[in-house]
Amino acid sequence: MTVISGTEVTLRPARESDRRDVFQWFAESDATPSMLGPPLFPEGSAPTWDEFNADYSPNFFDGSTPDVESSYIIEVAGEPLGQINYEIRQNPTRLAELDIWLRSLADTGHGYGSDALITLTAHLFRTLGVDTFLIRPSARNPRAIRAYHKAGFVAVPMSAQEQVEQYGAGDYEDTVVMIKHITT
């Protein structure tokens, strides 16, 4: 796996030594309440270290399966400030489901997340031929939804049952299905 340059961000392949930081950014940072856990998300708490490791296999951090799943560290001027990952699957067409989070609220609102999404989707299109991308935020996270729109994702109205049938269970009871297609 190679380093990928965006407009402002650089995406470098995640390493096993990044795992603890990625967990802390997700489950223990000041940005965590905007993604999961009380008070905004009382239906679920932040994962424990063991739960995180069960969800994010070593493949996300060792680059061994870039044709299926992997994770990148989002850097700006050499400073790590978040992570973005993907899982490629067939349902019924080949698509990549993405997930992204930044290490702190101070890192949001600068366009880094949108830049990372644009950069990764272009890379996966060029290198693996993936042309359909899925991201599923909560409706309670309007800042993320705006960033995903800025990166070219469009909300697709779907019932909870349709979402499960098409893409599997989402993380939220109010999941917003957002799709991006690249055609050229």
Q: Does some domain include residue 89?
A: yes
Q: Does some domain include residue 168?
A: no
pLDDT one-digit tens code per residue, 134-156: 999 999 999 999 999 999 999 99
Burial code of 114-151, b = ≥16 C-beta within 10 A, e = fewer? bbbbbbbbebbbeeeebbbbbbbbbeebeebbebbeeb
Strand ranges in 17-143 using DSSP code E only, listed in sequence order = 69-76, 79-90, 94-102, 132-135
* pTM, to two decimals: 0.94
DSSP lists the bridge partners of residue 75 as: 10, 80
Helix (H) or strand (E) holding 46: none
Q: Does some domain include residue 150?
A: no
Residues 151 and 46: their CA atoms lie apart, in Å, by: 26
Q: Which domain holds residue 53?
A: 4-130
Number of domains in the chain: 1
Q: Does some domain include residue 50?
A: yes
Mean of the per-residue pLDDT values of the chain: 93
Q: Does some domain include residue 149?
A: no
pLDDT one-digit tens code per residue, 87-132: 998 766 789 999 999 999 999 999 999 999 999 999 999 999 999 9
Q: Does some domain include residue 43?
A: yes
Q: Does some domain include residue 175?
A: no
Q: Confidence band (pLDDT; 50, 70, 90) for 163?
A: confident
Q: Does some domain include residue 160?
A: no
Residues 51 and 46: their CA atoms lie apart, in Å, by: 9
CATH number at residue 70: 3.40.630.30
Lowest mean pLDDT among 8-12, 17-21, 53-57: 53-57
